[in-house]
Chain A
Amino acid sequence: MLELKNISFTVDSEGAEKEIIRDLKLTVEDRKLVVITGPNGGGKSSLAKLIAGVEKPSEGRILLDGQDITDLSITERAQMGIAFAFQQPVRFKGIQVITLLRIAAGKQLSVSEACSYLSEVGLCARDYIHREVNASLSGGELKRIEIATVMARQSRLTVFDEPEAGIDLWSFQNLIRIFEAMRSNIRDSSMIIISHQERILNIADEIAVLTDGRIEQFGSRDEMLPKLIGTDAAQDACSRLK
């Protein structure tokens, strides 16, 4: 279980302090998929980074299974079981897909084990396993590899920051299927997805709306979804084409 207790986060913006997250409270229970939506600039990505330890809150505490992790590093949090999928996956010259999967799994994965993660995200493993994670991969391919590495971590808590960003509609359909499969295999872990795509909201257990750095609304999908459909918080997949 993840608990965010009175989290505030300020950044220095041209000499002035700007508050991105304000006194935020949120609990993510085990075996739950929570989708965080809300307008752009509302603090969603910052929240994901605060959970992963990439950013540190200016106030408040973060607890994982009751343990205070606020002052722990990215590495320590990762080793405790927090996984983080970047909005813009990082490219590495020379590092092969299999190496990244092995680092993620924290052990010497066999080629067939590594391939099984790639197959789960719909990549023909044989074609990709020895590819470099470099600029030769498309945005959609990179995103799937990012998700495969997160799967390989077998984490307690997985945070996805706008997984739909930078991919085409065709890949987006497949992405939804991957999340559905992850949701059904959630076991004792939990997932947070930052997104304002209606189809992702549709597979959530709970939905939080983050506006101006606060959780403005929070509730079960059945309760929240009717209120959000037709707003910017629940966009359909084609909204980018309109």
Chain B
Amino acid sequence: MVKLDEIQKRLIREIADLHEVPAGAYNFRANSALAGRNTTANIDIVSKENGSGIDIHIKPGTVHESVHIPVVLSESGLKETVYNDFFVGEDSDVVIVAGCGIDNCGNQDSEHDGIHRFYVGKNAKVKYVEKHYGSGDGQGKRILNPVTEVYMEEGSTMEMEMVQIKGVDSTERTTIAELNQNARLVVRERLMTHGTQRALSVYKVVLQGENSSADIVSRSIARDKSYQKLDACIVGNAPCKGHTECDSIIMDEGTILAVPSLEAHHVDASLVHEAAIGKIAGEQLIKLMTLGLTEKQAEEEIINGFLA
């Protein structure tokens, strides 16, 4: 049984597209307490003894299964740090959906700092989806500071989709990854800030093993007076391939800092970075207006496409 009120259910829909209890393993956390859990024959979820989080154990060879671990905060003034450790067995192929939604109608800040560590076994395949969302019209801030650590064994693959497009006042996101031989990491980050929000996103990806590869693409939009800093670093310690791309649209009085960096310690490390910041091109708006949209509708279409 999952015990959630209406606000919490709405947050869950925003962050995990869930309208009902999902199939497979799940762990729902609401206002710092367990709200529901399910395990399967292959996926076990256990609370840490000191109460600081959960361990998720995925048996070797588990395929076509999913784990949902949404977190919602709907009380003002909550502050929590949670450690979730994922042990993904060899040769498994799973989807992990995380995400945090905060509704803060009060005057005190609400903060969730989730530390996710992934130990991805040999030849395992993981798709990880993480969405962050904030709502509520109180004075209290909605703060999310996720840390994601990924340790990838030989031949493993991890695809990460990280989305934060609404309502989070302050975020400091850190992603660290270490890849062994033939491991492959793909990251797609989508970020939109508005109002006076601040978002920092830092990546440090170390390509340790031969023939490992990483592709990190961040698309972001800074509106109003918001501030973003995107700092993506790839380190190549072996024959490897790394690509990082920070592509941003700046609007209103927004500020964007893009700091892509590369560090090579091997002559056969092939690393590329790209960074671009620009406003919405006038000709894009004009084109969509000649198709019958108003300027505002045209702007929304361009933003929706860019963040799709």
Contacts A84-B290, A103-B292, A149-B291 given; indicate if A90 touches B308 (C-beta within 8 A): no
B292 to chain A: which residues have CB within 8 Å?
75, 78-79, 103-104, 106, 153
Contacts A90-B284, A93-B247 given; indicate if A74 touches B301 (C-beta within 8 A): no
> Whole-angstrom distance from the CB of B48 to the nearest CB of chain A?
40
A residues 73-94 with Cβ under 8 Å of B? 73-75, 78-79, 82-84, 86, 89-90, 92-94
Partner of B287 from A82, A86, A94, A96 at Cβ < 8 Å? A86
> Whole-angstrom distance from the CB of B298 to the nearest CB of chain A?
8
0/1 string, B290-308, CB within 8 A of A gives 1: 1111110000011011111
B2 within 8 A of A: no
Partner of A103 from B281, B283, B301, B306 at Cβ < 8 Å? B301
Task: Tell me the complex Cα distance, A99–B290, Å.
Answer: 15
> Whole-angstrom distance from the CB of B283 to the nearest CB of chain A?
5
How many pairs, one residue from A and one from B, have CB atoms within 8 Å of each other in the complex?
60
Considering the complex, give the chain B residue whose CB is closest to the CB of A101: B291
B residues 2-43 with Cβ under 8 Å of A? none
Partner of B291 from A89, A94, A104 at Cβ < 8 Å? A104
By the criterion CB–CB under 8 Å, are A93 and B305 in contact? yes
Task: Tell me the complex Cα distance, A26–B303, Å.
Answer: 39
A95 within 8 A of B: yes
Contacts A90-B283, A92-B284, A93-B247 given; indicate if A78 touches B290 (C-beta within 8 A): yes
By the criterion CB–CB under 8 Å, are B302 and A74 in contact? no
B78 within 8 A of A: no
Task: Tell me the complex Cα distance, A103–B304, Å.
Answer: 13
**Tally of B interface residues using CB under 8 Å:** 22
Task: Tell me the complex Cα distance, A74–B247, Å.
Answer: 29
Task: Tell me the complex Cα distance, A149–B293, Å.
Answer: 14
A100 to chain B: which residues have CB within 8 Å?
291
A interface SS class: mixed
Partner of B302 from A78, A89, A92 at Cβ < 8 Å? A92
By the criterion CB–CB under 8 Å, are A75 and B305 in contact? no
Contacts A92-B284, A93-B247 given; indicate if A99 touches B293 (C-beta within 8 A): no
Task: Tell me the complex Cα distance, A103–B305, Å.
Answer: 12
0/1 string, B224-252, CB within 8 A of A gives 1: 00000000000000000000000100000
A96 to chain B: which residues have CB within 8 Å?
305
Task: Tell me the complex Cα distance, A52–B283, Å.
Answer: 13
Q: Hey, which bits of chain A sit against chain B, CB under 8 A? A: 52, 54, 73-75, 78-79, 82-84, 86, 89-90, 92-96, 99-100, 103-104, 106, 149, 153
- List 16 A-B pairs, Cβ < 8 Å: A54-B286, A54-B290, A75-B293, A83-B290, A86-B287, A89-B287, A90-B281, A90-B283, A90-B286, A93-B305, A94-B307, A95-B302, A100-B291, A103-B292, A103-B293, A153-B291
